[in-house]
A = this chain, B = another copy of it.
Amino acid sequence: MEKRIRSSLCLPHAPVIRSYASIAGQKEGDGPMGDCFDRVEQDAYFGETTWERAESRMQADVLTRALEKGELPPAALDCIVAGDLINQCTSSTFAMRSLHVPFLGVYGACSTMAESLLLSSLLVDGGFCRNAAAVTSSHFSTAERQFRFPLSYGGQRTPTSQWTCTAAGAVVVSAEGTGVRVRGGCIGKIVDYGISDANNMGAAMAPAAADTIFRYLQDTGTAPEDYDCVVTGDLGNIGSSLLLELLRAQGVNLAVQHRDCGAMMFDEHSQDTHAGGSGCGCAASLLCGHFLPQLERGEIRRMLFAATGALLSPMSAQQGESIPCISHLVALTAEGVE
């Protein structure tokens, strides 16, 4: 079996998703997906003294929960692949420092769940790890403080803006066992359509998702109908419409199979979240809370997971730069499905 088809990857050993867990904050718990998470935490501080420590705590807790569900001690992990939105990825590194597990830090903004899951799967499929974990998180308050305004400033949000989810997800990928399998993937290319409005990231990210999904379908000779769903990370309502439009222009109709975690997370009208949810934790928590359980129960059999990231920084926005974006894709199947 070829491991590469043009720019897409096939995983001949189809690593198994041994376990996974999700945590979400109160607002996410109050939303339409609120019942799917392993834990909904009412305290935005997660028992810590700063929001940054809260996000690290959430990330440590979600990995611990995934390990418990997989009946593995931390020492059984050959590698943790993790990242987050916060400067120098401290949510991840501070979360993982007590575990003494080999650690690969990644930065893919809100595409991190797909990047870390793809990398974990490649390390397992390549025989370099027996068990590897992919972990990420985001926190509304750490992200607002860093990327936008002090919360107490009470800035008016634009109609295109999205709401950074307080949420986290962790997936343990293993060489052995049965369950949901990682069949392939596609490493994203950086796509920049020249959008420089940091309050319209869905629009900025849609071309990256379109590029990756289109390449994967082309490379593998498959069509949207071959999947039960094709899931993007946090395009939100505006970005989702653009994605469908961009793909339609290339002859691909994704309207039936497309789901977007950002559009699913909140009730736009009652929760005042504008264009939808965002943040690494948005796609991560719905992958682990909603889609992986559906795959495990066989309610969906084949899915593509393409989280998207906007690779901007506050400084790049201040300097008037446009927003480079990326989308990594992971192909998942239910047990027994080729």
- The 4 tightest CB contacts between A and B, nearest first, are A126-B126, A102-B187, A88-B313, A93-B311
Contact assessment for B104 and A115 in the assembled complex, using a CB-CB cutoff below 8 Å: yes
Contact assessment for B128 and A128 in the assembled complex, using a CB-CB cutoff below 8 Å: no
Most chain-B Cβ atoms within 10 A of its Cβ — which of A106, A119, A312? A106
Contact assessment for A315 and B87 in the assembled complex, using a CB-CB cutoff below 8 Å: yes
Binding site for B on A (CB under 8 A): 3-4, 7, 9, 50, 52-53, 78-79, 83, 85-90, 93-94, 96-97, 99-109, 115, 119, 122-123, 125-130, 186-192, 311-316, 319, 321, 324, 326
Contact assessment for A324 and B93 in the assembled complex, using a CB-CB cutoff below 8 Å: yes
Contact assessment for A316 and B187 in the assembled complex, using a CB-CB cutoff below 8 Å: no
Contact assessment for B87 and A313 in the assembled complex, using a CB-CB cutoff below 8 Å: yes
Q: Which of B86, B102, B104 contacts A106 (CB 8 A)?
A: B104
Chain B nearest CB, measured from A271 CB (Å): 27
Contact assessment for B127 and A96 in the assembled complex, using a CB-CB cutoff below 8 Å: no
Contact assessment for A89 and B107 in the assembled complex, using a CB-CB cutoff below 8 Å: yes
Q: A89-B107, A102-B187, A119-B119 are in contact. List 8 more A-B contacts (CB 8 A).
A: A4-B128, A4-B129, A87-B87, A87-B313, A94-B321, A96-B190, A101-B189, A104-B115
- 20 examples of A-B residue contacts, CB within 8 angstroms: A3-B127, A52-B316, A88-B313, A90-B321, A93-B190, A94-B321, A94-B324, A99-B190, A100-B189, A102-B189, A103-B187, A103-B189, A103-B190, A104-B108, A104-B187, A106-B107, A119-B119, A122-B122, A123-B126, A126-B128
State A113–B88 Cα separation when bound (angstroms). 16
Q: Which of B7, B126, B130, B192 contacts A78 (CB 8 A)?
A: B7
Chain B nearest CB, measured from A289 CB (Å): 25
Contact assessment for B188 and A102 in the assembled complex, using a CB-CB cutoff below 8 Å: yes
Contact assessment for B9 and A312 in the assembled complex, using a CB-CB cutoff below 8 Å: no
Contact assessment for B86 and A313 in the assembled complex, using a CB-CB cutoff below 8 Å: yes
State A88–B108 Cα separation when bound (angstroms). 8
Residue of B nearest to A310 (CB): B88
Q: Which of B109, B115, B125 contacts A126 (CB 8 A)?
A: B125
Contact assessment for B7 and A311 in the assembled complex, using a CB-CB cutoff below 8 Å: no
